[in-house]
Amino acid sequence: MTHLIANSTSTPNALAPDPLSASASLTGRVLLSAIFLLSGISKLSAPAAMIGYIESVGLPFPTLALAIAILAEVVGGIALILGYRTRLVAAGLAVFSVATALAFHNQLGDQNQFIHFFKNIAMAGGLLQVVAFGAGRFSLDARRG
């Protein structure tokens, strides 16, 4: 408790994040969401091609897999931006990112696949930071209390 009192001069309430942290949290959520939203929208614009791609890696039920991917990416991306059930959404997107890396980017001898694999792993790491620290002040979660 002493450290809270000692640090209380930096903000009116030592437990409340400063405006920079709150803004960085919102910006981080928007930037993390961008790739999911773009990917989900691109899947919506060319579903047949995506079903073929899903079939090519041998996943079962490609149409269902596509629907789940679109739902995760679009709804998850929007929820992350809004900061709605943020920890749960970020955890789900982290699992989705790792699963996608393993299923679609597992040819690590191919430099392009290697980069995409570790991009997904890095995204999962960023999402786990959101799981750990929450959405921040500028979120629906903060408004809900």
Q: Are 26 and 36 in contact (CB under 8 A)?
A: no
CA-to-CA distance for 139 and 144, rounded, in angstroms?
9
Confidence grade of residue 17 (pLDDT, cut at 50, 70, 90): low
CA-nearest of 107, 100, 116 to 92 is: 100
| Residue scoring higher pLDDT (52 or 14) | 52
Q: What are phi and psi of 41, to 5 degrees?
A: -65, -40
pTM of the model: 0.86
Local confidence band at 8 (pLDDT 50, 70, 90 cut-offs): very low
